[in-house]
Amino acid sequence: MSGYDERPVKTWLEGTTPPQRRTLIAACAGYGLDGFDYMGYTFVIPTLLALWGLTKADAGDIASAALLTSAAGGWGAGILADRYGRVPILQLTVAWFALFTFLSGCTRSYGELLAMRALQGFGFGGEWAVGSVLVAETIEARHRGRASGLVQSSWAIGWAAAAASYWAVYALVAPEVGWRVLFWLGILPALLVVYVRRRVGESPVFVALRSGAPRGHFLDIFRPALLRTTLLASLLCAGMMGAYYSVTTWLPTYLKTVRHLSVLGTSGYLLVLIAGSFTGYLCAAWAADALGRRRSFALFAACGIALVLLYVRIEVTDARMLLLGFPLGFFLSGIFSGSGAYLAELYPSEVRGSGQGFCYNAGRAVSALCPALIGRWSVHADLGACIGAVTAAAYGLVILAAWALPETRGRELGAAPAVG
């Protein structure tokens, strides 16, 4: 029997308890800081191309390195969270990515930056995996999609903070120093560890597991009862992130080097895109609870395909860029809103961290090929056409995977398929 409540809830946050709200604050802050770090790198790509003589392929490889290691970090953090608890592993992942983001600003060569970003990726992937499980297990079923979407929306806030920091830093210091300062600001997430340690309690579901319920093994997600779910959920995540990273990694460079927009035009467009992203996260969170997880994914993927292809094919002016920026951000980012809730609902409690961590980050590993593919392909073809083709293929994968997976809207977490 579905636990979904059809009654509309206009102020669902008012119905949460103080411990639940503290959990939401911690998860939102952690994911927002992830967004600040990743998007900060995309802003400094043009500087690194000029300063170090990097190629587009080199810049894409650095981005992909962090995404690849984040896959291992996400699964590893999920495994540790199933064993030691959600809260302590959340603290570990945040401290890890803060340290290596800071050290990225101390690098002096392509090889050093590649290594620091690769190491940073372990914490980058782990933070979302653990934070999303903690939220899913803390918030009641009928609000889980909206809570997941609220956490996802913090990425847009981190993105906006990265843009504002980029403009402020580059206005105050030379680009040769400015890119380092942006990375040094990445040490700030370490403050979140203090908040989590003092204010955030452990997931009630994990407390129940620790008190005597059977423990699962991380390889259980590959047993017959869960293997199909694991494969399809990984493909779903790969499609969403492949499209997202394709556009966001190369968008600033595309606007500056291909479309030849002024700094003012680029800044204005990015602000509209970020506003659309934030709105999309919140609206898709509502859609995930109202329409169901699968329909929401398919709707946003189909609209994403149409918008990206339109974006790279029409004759571009500043006015048209601004017009398309809001809906592009809306669908490009909004599609992620239900992912935390959906992955949590697909797995039983004893392997939820392992399953969610693996699927999201296996998808991230596959999607890591997209920025590198675009970088190398664009050497021989138009950069905009490369972005459009890779993005459309990735969203097509989302639609196919969503169609093949079960609907889980309103599922109580204890009702996920048991390990066979």
The answer to whether residue 330 is domain-embedded is yes
Calpha distance 149→334 (Å, rounded): 8
What is d(CA 189, CA 14) in angstroms, rounded to the nearest whole number?
A: 27
Tokens of 309: 């292809």
Question: Is 249 within the bounds of a domain?
Answer: yes
Contact present, 70 and 121 (Cβ < 8 Å): yes
DSSP symbol at 409: T
The CA-based angle 23-276-345, given to 5 degrees, is 40
pLDDT at 82: 83
| CA atoms of 191 and 283, how far apart (whole Å) | 30
Backbone angles phi, psi at 371, to 5 degrees: -60, -40
Residue 362 falls within a domain, yes or no? yes
Distances (CA, A) of 90 to 31, 87, 257, 354: 11, 5, 39, 14
Residue 119 tokens, joined = 């190491």
The answer to whether 374 and 242 have CB atoms below 8 angstroms apart is no
**Domain assignment of residue 6, yes or no:** no
What is the predicted pLDDT for the residue at 237?
Answer: 94
pLDDT of residue 213: 57
Please name the residue that has the structure tokens 């993927």: 301
Cα 270 to chain centroid distance, Å, stands at 18
- Residue 4's pLDDT is what? 47
Q: What is the pLDDT of residues 107-144, one digit of tens each?
A: 999 999 999 999 998 988 888 888 888 888 888 877 78
Tell me the CATH number at 309: 1.20.1250.20
211, part of any domain: no
**Residue 311 forms part of a structural domain:** yes
For residue 164, tell me if it sits in a domain: yes
Name the residue range of residue 106's domain: 16-202+216-415
> Is 5 among the domain residues?
no
Q: Which stretches of the chain score pLDDT less than 50?
A: 1-9, 263-265, 415-418, 420
Q: Contact at 8 Å (CB) between 124 and 66?
A: yes
Report how far residue 355's alpha carbon sits from residue 230's, in angstroms, rounded to the nearest whole number: 7
Structurally, the chain folds into a number of domains equal to 1
pLDDT in tens, 147-204: 888 888 888 898 889 889 998 999 999 999 999 999 999 887 777 777 777 788 888 7
